[in-house]
Amino acid sequence: MAIDPSPYLAPTRCAVVVFECQEMVLGQSAPYPRLAETARAGMLDRLAVLLAAAREHGAGVVYCTMSARPGGWGAPKTPLLDRSAASPKVELDRSIVPEVAPAAGDVIVDRTHGMSGFHGTELDTCLRAMGVETVLPTGVSANLGVLGTSIEAVNHGYRVVVPTDCVAADPPEFAEQILRYSYRNLGYLTSSDAVIDIWRSAPSSTR
């Protein structure tokens, strides 16, 4: 039986965590065309609406981005990134895609290593300073980075509520499977519209 997540969605105790919605992942020249196509087929638009509602109702907005040191020192060592390193060198655009561009007051947490927004970053410190108790993981990809960040959120003592229409996977049909068999054991699954409705009904407050 589904459990109502609304008791955990007081806006001033929530943060929407946006994972790697960057041009290097979702741009026209990104090496993940299926993922980019899926994200741009509505997910980014829905995420933009969720972020606007978060700002309006006093929830936090935190971007988790990936950068690199010169020479690649400290970069993750995975088969996917090894293949990318072996490809002809291109200058990666690490900016956040304009559809979900940051606004004043949003937080950007960058990392140069690891597959989770928490690994080696100040994400936990920022969330605690903001008074956050519930993390809403969003972005790409549901396969790895968003999943790892969700697991680490639980490891750090946060509750997780996943707006399932604000994540994307490659292939797109994999999202349904991983949400059903992995994410639902980590947090509460809902929609961005349901989250926004709960925030609208909450007492007015700002951070």
Task: Dump pLDDT digits (tens) for 90-105.
Answer: 567 889 999 999 999 9
Span 61-96, pLDDT tens digits: 999 999 875 555 455 555 555 555 545 455 678 899
Better-predicted residue by pLDDT, 205 or 95: 95
DSSP string covering 111-175, please?
ESSSSSTTTTSSHHHHHHHTT--EEEEEEE-TTTHHHHHHHHHHHTT-EEEEEGGGEE-SSTTHH
Instruction: Give the right CATH number for 9-201 from 3.40.50.720, 3.40.50.850, 1.10.10.920, 3.30.70.120.
Output: 3.40.50.850
Better-predicted residue by pLDDT, 74 or 31: 31
Residue 163 in this model has a pLDDT that exceeds 90: yes
